[in-house]
């Protein structure tokens, strides 16, 4: 199984005594040169007078943008510890059982604007960069990464099920096609209130994190879209929607009601 995750805007800064990132040590070393180009472009862009506009952030994140300028020497930690937003809080990697943690290290792949793709064990510094950014010299980052990620992620998917827990911004960097699409399921979160269903946006991250945890802790590995619906269906109401046409992915609608804690936290 391959489980695709987004990164998180919220990050935990590694301790000062931890060493800096080693690009050569990250998973998928064939991406090293591409990562180096993005890293250099980000460091340069973060030092521009219009850095906040370039990176699409407000003045409250000026310190994060300034910190981008020292990413080459900033302390690093495993990505599973650095990413600490809503989805990762719900996933709670550190609280997984030993068997589930081993599955996480094999199955989970984070799509990143800076690093392309990562495993949870890859050591990275905190940074500020979104996949929706257009970096000077490189262009839109989703378009930059798209041709570079197809081969390694298709190989990583193998013949197994692919579960896509990313937002559309990060899906743009790699969308499975062909045979891989036929066994890829994108998880969508719907809220049902008084019989009416609406798509959940921000707090969908919480439910997706919980879905990921359920998959990792399950004694049964889902091998088909229908297996996935069965495993997830033990916790939530869900509906499996087949592809609209060949070459497209499946969708698993996870339905939560108005009293669900994911909505209550919004």
Q: Mean pLDDT for each consecutive 10-residue tract of the chain (266 residues)?
A: 96 90 97 98 98 97 97 97 96 96 98 98 98 98 98 96 97 94 96 83 90 96 97 96 92 83 39
For 79, the 3-state DSSP assignment is helix
Domain limits for position 107: 2-264
How far apart, in whole angstroms, are the C-alpha atoms of residue 11 and residue 75?
13
Residue 264 confidence (pLDDT): 37
DSSP characters over 201-256: -TTHHHHHHHHHHHHHH-SS---SHHHHHHHHHTTSEEEEE--SSTT--EEEEEEE
For 63-183, strand residue ranges (E) read 77-78, 108-112, 116-118, 123-124, 134-135, 139-140, 162-164
How far apart, in whole angstroms, are the C-alpha atoms of residue 8 and residue 27?
19
Joined together, the tokens standing for residue 193 give 């209130």
CB neighbours of residue 132 within 10 Å: 15
Residue 158 confidence (pLDDT): 94
Number of domains in the chain: 1
Residue 199 confidence (pLDDT): 86
Residue 260 confidence (pLDDT): 52
Torsion angles phi and psi, residue 62, rounded to 5: -60, -40
Residue 104 confidence (pLDDT): 98
Nearest Cα residue to 10 out of 205, 156, 186: 205
Burial class (CB in 10 A: 0-12, 13-18, 19+), 146: middle
Joined together, the tokens standing for residue 180 give 């891989």
Joined together, the tokens standing for residue 162 give 């692919």
Burial class (CB in 10 A: 0-12, 13-18, 19+), 46: buried
pTM recorded for the entire structure: 0.94
């Amino acid at each position: 199984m391959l489980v695709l995750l987004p990164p998180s805007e919220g990050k935990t800064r590694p301790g000062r005594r931890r060493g800096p990132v080693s690009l050569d040590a990250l998973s998928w070393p064939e991406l090293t040169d591409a990562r180096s180009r993005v890293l250099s472009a980000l460091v340069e862009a973060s030092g521009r007078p219009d850095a906040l506009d370039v990176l699409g952030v407000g003045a409250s994140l000026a310190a994060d943008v300034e910190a981008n300028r020292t990413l080459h020497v900033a302390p690093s930690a495993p990505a599973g510890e650095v990413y600490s937003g809503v989805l990762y809080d719900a996933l709670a990697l550190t609280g997984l059982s030993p068997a589930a943690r081993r599955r996480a290290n094999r199955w989970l792949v984070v799509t990143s604007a800076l690093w392309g793709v990562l495993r949870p064990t890859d050591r990275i510094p905190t940074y500020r960069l979104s996949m929706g950014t257009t970096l000077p010299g490189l262009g839109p980052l989703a378009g930059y990464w798209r041709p570079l990620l197809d081969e390694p992620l298709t190989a990583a998917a193998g013949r197994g099920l692919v579960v896509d827990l990313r937002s559309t911004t990060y899906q743009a960097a790699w969308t499975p096609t062909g045979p891989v699409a036929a066994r890829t399921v994108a998880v969508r979160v719907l809220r049902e209130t008084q019989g009416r269903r609406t798509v959940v946006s921000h707090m969908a991250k919480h439910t997706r994190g919980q879905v990921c945890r359920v998959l990792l802790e399950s004694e049964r590995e889902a091998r088909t879209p229908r297996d996935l619906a069965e495993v997830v269906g033990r916790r939530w109401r869900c509906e499996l929607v087949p592809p609209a046409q060949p070459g497209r992915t499946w969708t698993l609608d996870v339905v939560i009601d108005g009293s669900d804690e994911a909505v209550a936290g919004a």
